[in-house]
Amino acid sequence: MATGSGNKLYKPGEIVLKAGIYRVIHHGHRDPHEAGLNARDVFPACKICGVRVRFEIVRELAESD
């Protein structure tokens, strides 16, 4: 699944390496949307499309201590 931006796509179950705003790309049941994720979180599966969902970083955020 290509996004055209050249950014890496992350899968559910992978560890979030960088805190930021991510584009959530679902498998056909809804339009992409954005979500904030913290570093060391795990990319979640979707309740509808499961592990077919993908995540693409839109903007990195500084982590607060």
Binned average pLDDT, 10 residues per bin, the chain of 65 residues: 70 97 96 97 97 97 73
- Say what the pTM is: 0.85
pLDDT value at residue 2? 47
Residue 28's nearest CA partner among 53, 61, 3, 65 is 53
Task: Report d(CA 10, CA 5) in Å as an integer.
Answer: 14
What are the domain boundaries of the chain?
9-60
